[in-house]
Amino acid sequence: MGTAPRLSERQFRSWRALLERGTGLRLPEARRPQVETLVAERAAATGCAGFAEYLHRLVHRPSFGRREWQLLAARLAVRETRFFRHPAVFAAMGRHLAERLRAGEQRLSLWSAGTASGEEAYSLAILAARLAAGRPEPLEFLVVGTDIDGEALARAAAGVYREPLRRGLEAADLAAFFEPAGAGAWRVRESLRRRVRFLRHDLLEEASGALLPAMDLISCQNVLVHLTPWRRRVAARRLAERLKPGGLLVFSPGDLGGWRPEGLERMADLPAAFRRPMGQ
C-alpha cells in the first residue's frame, strides 16, 4: 500500500477522540501517522470508500463496530516486550513467590496481563520452574497470559522465538527450557508450554473466575500507561479483584499516574507494586 491519505487537523482530532473512546488508548500527536495508516488500511480492507464511510459503519453498525474496535485496539497497542524485562522486578517477584511457598502455598497461579507475544508469560513460568526445582516436593503452577490481540496470542501459544538470547533470555534458561526449531529459532519445551495458557481478554472487562482464578501474582507492566486515566483505574480495579489474600499486583512506574488501587498495600521493594493484605 502506498502513502496513507492524510487527515486534516479537524479530522485527526475527531478520529483521535473517537479512537480513544472506543479503544481506551491514549493517542498523542506523535502517533498521528500510525492512526492515519491504520484507519486507511481498515477502510480499504472492509470495502469502505474512505474515512467517512468507515466512520459511519463504526458508529452506526454495531456488529461491524464490535469486531473493528477490538482489531483497532490490538493494532494501536504498543508491543514492546522481551524475556525477563526489568530483571530487578523479576527478582522481586521471585522473592514474593518464594515467600508464598514458605508460608505453605502448594500451588501458584500467575497472570501476565497484556502479554503480547508471550515473552513475559514464559518468563513467569521459568521463574516458577526455578522455584519448583529447589523443593523436595512437587510444585504445581499455572501461568495465564492474556491480551486483546488474537494474532499475538497465537504466536505466544506456538512458543517459537528467534534469537531469544538477544531478547533477554539467559543461556542457562535457553538450554533448560527451549529446544532448537531451525533457522535460528527456538521453541519453548512442551514441559513448560503445558504450564502456560493463553486467553483473549480485555482488561476493562470483568474476569471470569473459571478462566482466571484467584492469583498469587499478577504482572501488568507497561500496559495501563497507554490507556486514558479513567480506564487505567477500571483496569487496575479489575486486576486487583483477581488477587488472593497476600497476592502481588505489579505495574510499571507511570502506569497509574499517581493513583493507587484501594484496599491494597504498597510494596517497599518495588516502585509500583501492591499486595492484598492477608485476611481480605
Q: In terms of pTM, does the model score above 0.75?
A: yes
Q: Which residue has the higher pLDDT, 7 or 255?
A: 255
DSSP secondary structure string for all residues of 60-103: H-HHHHHHHHHHHHHHHS-----TTSSHHHHHHHHHHHHHHHHT
Domain 87-275 has CATH 3.30.1510.10: no
The pLDDT, as a whole number, for residue 49 is 84
State pLDDT tens for residues 228-265.
888 889 999 999 999 999 999 999 887 887 788 889 99
Residue 140 vs residue 80, higher pLDDT = 140
Cell readout for 226 is: 497507554
Percentage of residues in the chain with pLDDT exceeding 70? 94
For residue 194, give the nearest of 250, 146, 143 by alpha carbon. 143
> What is the mean pLDDT of the segment spanning 44-69?
83
pLDDT band at 43 (very low <50, low <70, confident <90, very high): confident
Higher pLDDT, 225 or 187: 187
Domains of the chain, residue spans: 9-76, 87-275
Question: In the predicted model, is pLDDT for residue 91 greater than 70?
Answer: yes
Q: What is the pLDDT of residue 205?
A: 84
